[in-house]
Structure 1
């Protein structure tokens, strides 16, 4: 994350965002949702709190995270 602190964004910036979640998400709402934004950014939020805050990342940051997940770098978080 290049040392920057990420903050939540205002609801106005997310108006019209098309949110989606993984097909692997459970029916009880334990999901992370993502939406592509203008400016080559991606918003991420908790599906249980759709009116709550969202975090904004660059596509490069998301790509680095996904690559790490595919490589198993975060497997120790799963029990």
Structure 2
């Protein structure tokens, strides 16, 4: 696999297992995530499975998840 950078076509990550939240709707409005072999986390929009995929470190994802759980982003969906 080539070096992974943000905004890569998701096809480059064809050997990963994408998954989405059980809270996702059935109409394709889902965010999908995949663990990468180098420890990173890839994120893509299920409506556009061929990309782009964004790649984050585990620490970046942890910071986002903790912020979401703490309500820091609630204004985005209000």
- TM-score calculated relative to the size of structure 2: 0.87
Q: List runs of 5+ in structure 1 lacking aligned partners.
A: 1-5
Which stretches of structure 1, 4 residues or more, deviate above 2 A after TM superposition?
none
Q: Residues 7 and 52 of structure 2 are in contact (CA less than 8 Å); yes or no, is this contact kept in structure 1?
A: yes
Q: Which protein has greater RCO, CA pairs closer than 8 Å, 6+ apart?
A: 2
Number of aligned residues: 73
Unmatched segments (≥5 aa) in structure 2: none
**Residue matched to 1:29:** 28
1:8 is aligned to 2:7 = yes
Match of 2:53 in 1: 54
